[in-house]
Structure 1
Amino acid sequence: MNADSKSTSTPATGDRPFTQLRRQRKLRQLCSGGAFLLVALGSLVAGPTPSRSQDIPTAPSFVDDFTSFDRARWYIADGWANGKYQNCIWSKRQVKLSDGMLTLGFEKQKVKDRDFACGEVQSKQRFGYGTYEARLKTDSGSGINASFFTYIGPTDKQPWDEIDFEVLTKDTSKVQVNAYIAGKGNNEKVVDVAGGTDKAFNDYAFVWEKDRLRWYVNGELVNTITDPAKLPSHAQKIFFSLWGSDTMKEWLGPFSDPGRKLTLQVDRVAFTALGQPCQFPESLACSIK
């Protein structure tokens, strides 16, 4: 099923100014504004019971295995780019749902003033402390970014807070994790992904608590932040995006036309509010403390 038939076409409220993109490794990027996610009819949705230490308002826990598309929960970016650095235009035609899989695309397609079209989705709801999980498979190619992250910012009348997993697909053996607090980053760390992000599906998760932020890859702890000055404190939206750049060579690598359609596949995404029971057997929330 092509999810674009169920999307809207107005820009979402998560767009980030281009100036923000300069901070990650001095060329940080994280874009997004536009759009995000989807939720299945068969999703497990926990009630919004307040959880321990929960002092950030949060939407309820959920699991989405993408057996259907719920536009009440998810928004698809369409018709714009986040800045001149981005060599593609967000297109609802690059967001598809088929056989229980959400697929974002990047391909050569003239849209407005860009030669490529790309896909992004965003949750309409905001989430607080808890466990965030996604099962992903990326493509490969220099000049491309495939990401799973949370973000809130000035266009939502909030400070810029963000928590990231970003695969710079010039090197699919690694993923970069990062956090932004009130617009300040420099918390990035590049970690290994055994077997590569493009050879099989991998599980990416972070656990956000009031006094700690932890990132996991395939169940293994890869990074921890406990410095209060480096911990987000505002509820955020969930994003997936796949995009490219001709200019951000230092960070993404030099871009060249891949000559084919690239994809980011999302098999599952879940949020489990802090203190709530885990929602599926493989969930990190079932085993961590």
Structure 2
Amino acid sequence: MFAVAATLHPAHAQETQPELKSAPSFVDNFANFNQSRWFVSDGWTNGAHQNCTWSKDLVRLSDGVLSLSFEKRKLKDREFACAEIQTKQRYGYGVYEARMKTGAGSGLNAAFFSYIGPQDKQPWDEIDFEVLTKDPSKVQVNSYIQGKPKNAKLVEVAGGADKGFNDYGFVWEKDRLRWYVNGKLVHEVTNPDELPTHSQKIFFSLWGSDKLTNWMGAFVDPGSKVTMQVKRVAFTALGQPCQFPESLACSISNSN
């Protein structure tokens, strides 16, 4: 165990999509922890809504699986500790994918998402998959434009997000944003006012709240460590070939 601080039209996309700065395509199967790619959040919270402090000790890698955990442990001014990683580089239009499994528990949020905001001197744009683990039979998809939520929708995860590994992916284009669960299209947005326009970092996080009860449920101390696991994450830029056989970029690039 290693502890660590529907159609893409590739050619058309290359011709008509405006420049949106992006780091190169990649696949990370977590054979090791790429410290040049990932930054581990440690020693702070994202605000008063969060009842835990980010801890690098709760990010671990073992046998090709990245684990992010939540546990009862006083850290700074919070009674719980939690985990988050984020890419150091920013990514633009393309296919974003993760294969992951969550824990369960009311008041927790297990998320795979892209985000940019004031911390990087940019407007707040975001694209989300969030498993509100009070009910891991569903995942919430959403996006934020200029800090305002635009497309929240709860969709079913067959078998449950906590019962096995599932594939989550979104395809972000200039004029369209689509979310997929296990290869199935579950949500699509084409309204230009509801589409992000700024390159973003990729995040995984597991955190809790005793304040956002209407959304995440009443917080219940899980009594033991809760973990989300990630086997793979990938970004494939528009117009680039798919990078692994199960990728959305393979299955939808030639569809109608």
Sort the TM-score into its range (normalised by shorter chain): over 0.9
CA contact (8 A) 1:54 1:274 kept: no
Aligned-partner SS, 1:251 = helix
Q: Partner residue of 2:249?
A: 285
CA contact (8 A) 1:51 1:273 kept: no
Instruction: Report the alpha carbon displacement of residue 76 of structure 1 after superposing the two structures with TM.
Output: 0.2
Greater length-normalized contact order (CA 8 Å, ≥ 6 residues apart): 2
- If the length of structure 2 is used for normalisation, what is the TM-score? 0.93
Which of 232, 246, 251 is equivalent to 2:196?
232
Task: Could you tell me which runs of 5 or more consecutive residues in structure 2 were left unpaired when the two chains were aligned.
Answer: 6-12
Aligned-partner SS, 1:277 = coil
CA distance in 1: counterparts of 2:62 and 2:225, whole angstroms = 16
The letter of the residue matching 1:165 is F
| Structure 2 residue 71 is matched with structure 1 residue 107 | yes
Aligned-partner SS, 1:272 = strand
| Structure 2 residue 195 is matched with structure 1 residue 209 | no
CA distance in 2: counterparts of 1:155 and 1:111, whole angstroms = 23
| Structure 2 residue 59 is matched with structure 1 residue 95 | yes
Deviations 1:60-112 (A, max 9, x none): 00000000011111000000111121111000000001100100000111111
Task: Could you tell me which runs of 5 or more consecutive residues in structure 1 were left unpaired when the two chains were aligned.
Answer: 8-49
Aligned-partner SS, 2:149 = coil
Q: Partner residue of 1:3?
A: 3
How many residue pairs were aligned? 245
Deviations 1:24-64 (A, max 9, x none): xxxxxxxxxxxxxxxxxxxxxxxxxx944252011000000
Instruction: Report the alpha carbon displacement of residue 202 of structure 1 after superposing the two structures with TM.
Output: 0.3
> Identity of paired residues, percent?
68
Q: Partner residue of 1:172?
A: 136
Aligned-partner SS, 1:155 = helix
- Greater share of strand: 2
Q: Partner residue of 1:160?
A: 124
Instruction: Report the alpha carbon displacement of residue 3 of structure 1 after superposing the two structures with TM.
Output: 3.3
Which of 211, 232, 250 is equivalent to 2:214?
250
The alignment yields a C-alpha RMSD, in angstroms, of 1.1
CA distance in 1: counterparts of 2:118 and 2:72, whole angstroms = 32
Runs of 4+ in 1 over 4 A off after TM superposition: none
CA contact (8 A) 2:150 2:194 kept: no
CA distance in 2: counterparts of 1:154 and 1:84, whole angstroms = 17
Aligned-partner SS, 1:109 = strand
- If the length of structure 1 is used for normalisation, what is the TM-score? 0.83
Aligned-partner SS, 2:60 = strand
